[in-house]
Every structure is written in C-alpha cells, then in structure tokens.
Chain A
C-alpha cells in the first residue's frame, strides 16, 4: 500500500489531494457516483415527462399559462433543504424524497423553455403543415417539436447541470450520491474525501452538459447545415428561432 514516498502518508497528514485515498476508496467513489448519476437521470427524465404536458396545457389554454408558470416559480423559490424536509413525511427517508424534490425544481426551467420553444414556431410553418393535411398530433411531433428542440435542449442542459449540483443536498436523507461523501468527509474532517467528491460532482455536471450538447447536434442536423452556409444566413436562422 506504500506509495513509495517518504514520511507519513497523505491519508495520515489529511492532505486535500491524496492519491492513496483514490486507490483505497475507489469502490466507495464509484458507488457514490453511480447513485448520483442514477438520481440525476431519473429526476431529469421524470421532470421532462411532467413538464412537457404542462407546457402543452399552458399553450393550449391561455388561462392555464399563468397558474402553471406561477406554481413552478413558487416551487423554485422554496429552498432545497426545506423542500426535501417537507417531502420526508410523505415518502419517508428514501430516494423518492430527493427525486421528487429535484423533479419539482427542474419543472420551472423545463416548462418555461418548452413553452418558449413551441411558441416560437412560426405561424406560417404551422399553417403550411396544416395545409398539407397534418393532424394536431402529427403537427406536434413532426413539425413543432423538432423546431422547438434547440430551446428544449437549452432548458434541459440548465436543468441537468443544476440537478447534478443539487443532488448533493440529498445527503440529509442519505441519498445524495457524492453529497453523502461530502457530508461524511465533513463529519470526519477528511479533506481528501470532500475535495475529491466535490471535484467529481463538478466534472459530472460538465460532462452531462457536453453530452446534451452533442445530443442536440445529432438531433438537429439542419442547424449545422445552416451553420456551414453564409454567416448572414445563420444569423437569420437564429433570430427566426429565437423570437420569443
């Protein structure tokens, strides 16, 4: 187990950066990372599944838009620690507390961005599709959704990155992924554990962001075709998409 270095090991010295910690506790780190990723992924997917119908409702009935957006904003204002604490009696001490809290937070950003994306679809496009005989469902899935995709993915990226960061708070009920290691490291004054878990958490957030960016590029090849065209054309396309 010796690293070959002279003097006390970095574990005994309680250094911030400690290779020995990485080696001896790798299983613990992997487990925490897997839990972190699992909680984040489930929360974001559920958030998307809830946000999409909410955005459709808010678009379909003008009167519903105010309450839907207002409610998600109110939920967002509640601090995360209080949100998890309020959900604890409902679900008991379980991962469901953390997932539900994170889903509720992600709604604010997702509903807003999906709604903005759908509303930005040009009326002419919609008219043309209808004229070609598209029904409401086909219009939504084949025309409006692809056009709203950049706005949707932009919201998804913000929601995912903040969900990765917020999962750490789940450590209050013991389901915080890397947050558990941070809480554990604080209790034991174990610097290497805290720093390693924190850095891993930031890396996870950045990685998720890059993955979603890549996904968006794969799903919207037409934006790249325009990107290769003249700069003027790109500008036009962007403003057309961004008219909120």
Chain B
C-alpha cells in the first residue's frame, strides 16, 4: 500500500513534471521516438509485404522473420548498438533498434493478410479485368486490412515497450523515470514511472483499436460477409482473418504473437 501512496505523491508533485527530467519532457521524447520509428517501419515493411503478398512469393522469409525477431533480446540489441560506433550518434541506436523490432510483426501480418485474402474473390476480380494495381488497391488490401491492422497494433505495442527499454541503454523516454528510480532505490518513483508507461501503452492500444474500427474500408460489410460465409460453412482459405492460431508450429497468425523486449 505504501508504494501506491508514494507513487501518487510522486505523481502529484508538480516539480516532477517540469524540466528536462520531468514527465512532460520524457513523454514528448517517448512519443516522438515511437511515432518516428513506427512511420519508418511502416514505410519499410508495408510496401515489401504488400508486394510479396501480391506476387505470392517470399512466404518463408515473412514468417521466419518474426520467429527470429522473437528470439533476439531487445535489451541485447540496444546495448550492442550503443557500444558500437553508432552509439556516439545521439538517438540513432534507439531508432535503429525500434525499427528492427517493429518491422517483423508489420511484415508478417501484412503478408499473411494478403495471402489469406479469399483467392476466389481475387480470381473473380482478375477475371473482371482488373489490373495488378487495381487488384492490389481495391481487393487485396481491403481484404487484408484486419491483419495489417493487427500487425500495426503489435508493432506499436512493441515500439512503445522498446522505447521504454532504451532508458536501460542510456536513451531518453519515460523508461528513464523508472531506471532513475531503481538507481536511487526510490520505489515511489519506480512505481510512478511504471504507471505512466503502462497507461501510455494501454491508451495507445485503445486508440488504435478505435481507429481500426472507424477506418475499416469494409465497415459494415465485413460482418455481413462473415455471417454469410458461416452459413455456407466456408472453412476454406478465406477463413475469418484474425482467427486464433492454428496448430501449425509457425503460427504467426496468433494475434499479438510477437516479440516482447
């Protein structure tokens, strides 16, 4: 109980929010780094995944990438980058580590989304005379949207967690409040920092769930389509995206089955 009241006291002290080591500055660092790296990762991962998915090639790469990403400890990568010559270049080690760990979930999920888009629908669209780009933009991406968004959500959770860990390797962000608290044996500060990080992660996740629903290109139609396919017992390749993991060992479709630093 003492820790909770201590953390509350820490959080309600105005001095802890101001200044370069204050919460506002750390939060700004955290959001700026996370946002930047997420955009960079999307720019790298999504075109590759959509293109590979459209062509139907490179499946082994897309699936294995996230398996490898899971086995590599984020902390190790952060420290290795910090000790490398790159470590003297300001925030670069953090940025590179964040992008490295955000790319696998984005790429794997987007690729699987593209591959699991109902082949019959894609064939029908091709038969209607749609060109490659038309097919990609108007059929495959809307069908792959739920899994693309799942990938984006896992990548965001990943990026926020990794940005917290950057503090361990001397980077900025809200994790700094926690590590500073551990350094001073100040449990109140440790708990306060942890609460801030947890609230940030959950708030961002909640916002993304909301955005996913609002931006769905097939809003309203997806449910109708799904009940229809249930009626016809459609258990073919076009099963509902985001369904629980199958028994296959490389079940990269597990929602949120991604690395965690």
A: which residues have CB within 8 A of B?
73-74, 76-83, 85-86, 88-89, 105, 108-109, 112-113, 115-117, 119-120, 150-151, 153-155, 157-158, 161-162, 164-166, 168-169, 171-173, 179, 182-183, 185-186, 189, 191, 194-195, 197-198, 201-202, 205-206, 209, 213, 216, 238, 241-244
Contact = CB atoms under 8 A, between A and B. Distances in A.
A201 B76 contact: yes
Given A79-B164, A82-B201, A158 B256 contact: no
Interface stretch (B139-147, B187-195, B223-231): B187-195
Which applies to chain B's interface (DSSP): helix, strand, loop or mixed?
helix
B231 to A, nearest CB: 17
Contacts of A77: 157, 201-202, 205
A73 to B, nearest CB: 7
B198 A78 contact: yes
Contact of A169 (B77, B255, B261): B261
Counting contact residues on chain B (CB < 8 A from A), the size range is 35 or more
B160 A79 contact: yes
A191 to B, nearest CB: 6
A79 B73 contact: no
Nearest to A194: B79
Interface stretch (B17-25, B126-134, B174-182): B174-182
B205 to A, nearest CB: 5
Interface in B202-230: 202, 205
B6 to A, nearest CB: 8
B155 interface: no
Nearest to B156: A77
Contact of A81 (B72, B164, B251): B164
Interface in B1-47: 2-3
Interface of B: 2-3, 67, 70-77, 79-80, 82-83, 157, 160-161, 164-165, 167-169, 175, 178-179, 181-182, 187, 190-191, 193-195, 197-198, 201-202, 205, 235, 239, 243-249, 251, 254-257, 259-261
Given A81-B164, A81-B197, A169-B261, 17 more contacts: A76-B157, A76-B256, A78-B202, A80-B261, A88-B191, A89-B190, A89-B191, A113-B245, A113-B251, A154-B245, A155-B254, A158-B251, A161-B71, A164-B71, A165-B261, A172-B178, A244-B239
Nearest to A243: B235
Contacts of A162: 70, 259-260
A155 B245 CA distance: 9
B75 to A, nearest CB: 4
A165 to B, nearest CB: 4
Nearest to A108: B256
18 contacts: A78-B197, A78-B198, A80-B164, A85-B190, A86-B198, A112-B255, A113-B254, A154-B247, A158-B70, A164-B71, A164-B73, A165-B259, A172-B182, A182-B76, A183-B75, A195-B80, A202-B72, A244-B246
A131 B197 CA distance: 53
Contacts of B71: 161, 164-165, 202, 205-206, 209
A164 B73 CA distance: 8
B244 A242 contact: no
B82 A89 contact: no
A65 B251 CA distance: 21
Given A183-B168, A195-B80, A244-B239, A213 B245 contact: no
B70 A165 contact: yes
Contacts of B205: 77
Given A201-B73, A244-B246, A186 B79 contact: yes
Contact of B187 (A88, A194, A197): A88
B83 A189 contact: yes
A194 B76 contact: yes
Contacts of B160: 79
Contacts of A79: 160-161, 164-165, 175, 197-198, 201, 261
Contacts of B243: 244
